[in-house]
Amino acid sequence: MQESPFAVVAKPGDRVADLSTPRPIIDEDRMERNIARTQAYMDQHSLNFRPHIKTHKIPALAAAQIAAGAKGINCQKISEAEVFAAAGFEDILITFNIIGAQKLERLGALNDQISDLKVVADSITTVDGLSSYFASTKPLTVLVECDTGGGRCGVQTAEEARTLARRINDLPGLTFGGLLNYPKPSSAEAVQAFFSKALSLLQTDGIICPIVSNGGTPSLFEAHLVSAATEHRAGTYIYNDRSMVRTGHCSEDDCAMHVLATVVSRPTVDRAVIDAGSKALTSDLLGFSDFGKVVGYPEAVIAGLSEEHGVIDLSKCGDRRPLIGEKVRIIPNHTCVVSNLFDTMVFHREGVVTRVESVAARGLVW
């Protein structure tokens, strides 16, 4: 993505404290620790690890994840996969039901371009659509998406998984790649039960299941409890956020992303207004009742957001309250959606800018 002539770009050596706000910033040291810690856990349990790039959308970061030991990457849409294929990634799993002539054509081009493209399907409609396109070209690998309790996409039972796997196996143009889910947090037992039942049904049919892919950052460190799985996928872990602190997945000191904001108004004793609103922090609550955590002001509550203003309730704070012009750091509720709002991401070590990366896979229509 080309940099806009209107973008205010930081450069290495700049002090983060001097940057224009609002702006998300990434602490390189914390990010590196998050990458290393997660990969070490996966290595310890002999699980393949597949980072989900939706969180950062930056090829250089995926390269660091691969360099640390990750097997391949996970994308959520074709446009993301296109950007990362162009950057040289060969093992890409798109965890989405791909439907419609236009998308199939782009998927075909991607499949020709890289060595190891995989997608998922949870219905006959999706599978038949894929087969009708790929029958006359390089075959596509398809995993069956299973709903092990997450309540999103996925076949509902192990029997349905078997039926769909058979169909993938039988139809021209497709290779059965395995099973996949997006679980609800802390449901290792249910995931294991679903996968092991499906695996035994596939074994009965003589269908080989190369991959069993479990996912999610919230359940990342429970991944070893699902012995049926061959790999785990996670995205948020690289930056972490307030929702991950709540699950006990990490501490606030593991949160690599902060949204830097400036206090622009103090209309009353109990109210501060910052220049970060829903177009910087997003409205994602993820179960919280407020819109992020202000570092250094634990009693401050980001009570409301309009598009470019955040209203902070200071009524529970003591005498020390942020002043007009003061810059504050906010741990966002959900890091992945913040990345998606900005064309560039600034990285730093101990407050000094190290690099500025283009958030290459954002703003695209699929």
List the interface residues with a second copy, window 33-52 (CB under 8 A).
none
152: contact with a second copy by CB under 8 A: yes
254: contact with a second copy by CB under 8 A: no
CB 330 within 8 A of CB 25: no
| Closest among 3, 11, 64, 2 to 348, alpha carbons compared | 11
- The rounded distance, in Å, linking the Cα atoms of 242 and 247 is 9
18: contact with a second copy by CB under 8 A: yes
List the interface residues with a second copy, window 278-337 (CB under 8 A).
278-279, 282-285, 304, 306-309, 311, 323-325, 336-337
User: Considering the complex, what minimum distance in angstroms separates the CB of residue 296 from a second copy?
Assistant: 19
Q: How far apart are the first and last CA of the chain?
A: 15
**Radius of gyration of the chain measured on its C-alpha atoms:** 22
7: contact with a second copy by CB under 8 A: yes
82: contact with a second copy by CB under 8 A: yes
Q: Burial level of 214, CB count in 10 A (0-12/13-18/19+)? A: buried
* SS3 readout for 12-64: CCCEHHHCCCCEEEEEHHHHHHHHHHHHHHHHHCCCEEEEEHHHCCCHHHHHH
122: contact with a second copy by CB under 8 A: yes
The strand pairing partners of 258, in sequence order, are 25
For the record, the structure tokens of 86 come out as: 């162009």
User: Considering the complex, what minimum distance in angstroms separates the CB of residue 126 from a second copy?
Assistant: 7
CB 214 within 8 A of CB 181: yes
2: contact with a second copy by CB under 8 A: yes
* Shorter beta-carbon distance to a second copy: residue 47 or 338: 338
123: contact with a second copy by CB under 8 A: yes
96: contact with a second copy by CB under 8 A: yes
76: contact with a second copy by CB under 8 A: yes
User: Considering the complex, what minimum distance in angstroms separates the CB of residue 46 from a second copy?
Assistant: 29
* Shorter beta-carbon distance to a second copy: residue 248 or 267: 267
Pairing, β 23-27 against β 257-268: antiparallel
For the record, the structure tokens of 189 come out as: 């037992």
Query: Which amino acid type is present at position 354?
Result: T
20: contact with a second copy by CB under 8 A: yes
106: contact with a second copy by CB under 8 A: yes
Long-range interactions of 249-254: CB distance < 8 A, separation 24+: 249/217, 249/218, 249/220, 249/221, 250/34, 252/293, 252/295, 252/331, 253/30, 254/30, 254/33, 254/34
User: Considering the complex, what minimum distance in angstroms separates the CB of residue 6 from a second copy?
Assistant: 5
List the interface residues with a second copy, window 257-286 (CB under 8 A).
262, 264-268, 271, 273, 275, 278-279, 282-285
Pairing, β 327-331 against β 257-268: antiparallel
List the interface residues with a second copy, window 334-353 (CB under 8 A).
336-337, 340-344
* Shorter beta-carbon distance to a second copy: residue 18 or 205: 18
User: Considering the complex, what minimum distance in angstroms separates the CB of residue 73 from a second copy?
Assistant: 15
Task: Find the part of the chain contacting a second copy (CB under 8 A) among 64-72, 81-89, 205-213, 225-233.
Answer: 81-89
* Shorter beta-carbon distance to a second copy: residue 203 or 265: 265
User: Considering the complex, what minimum distance in angstroms separates the CB of residue 18 from a second copy?
Assistant: 7
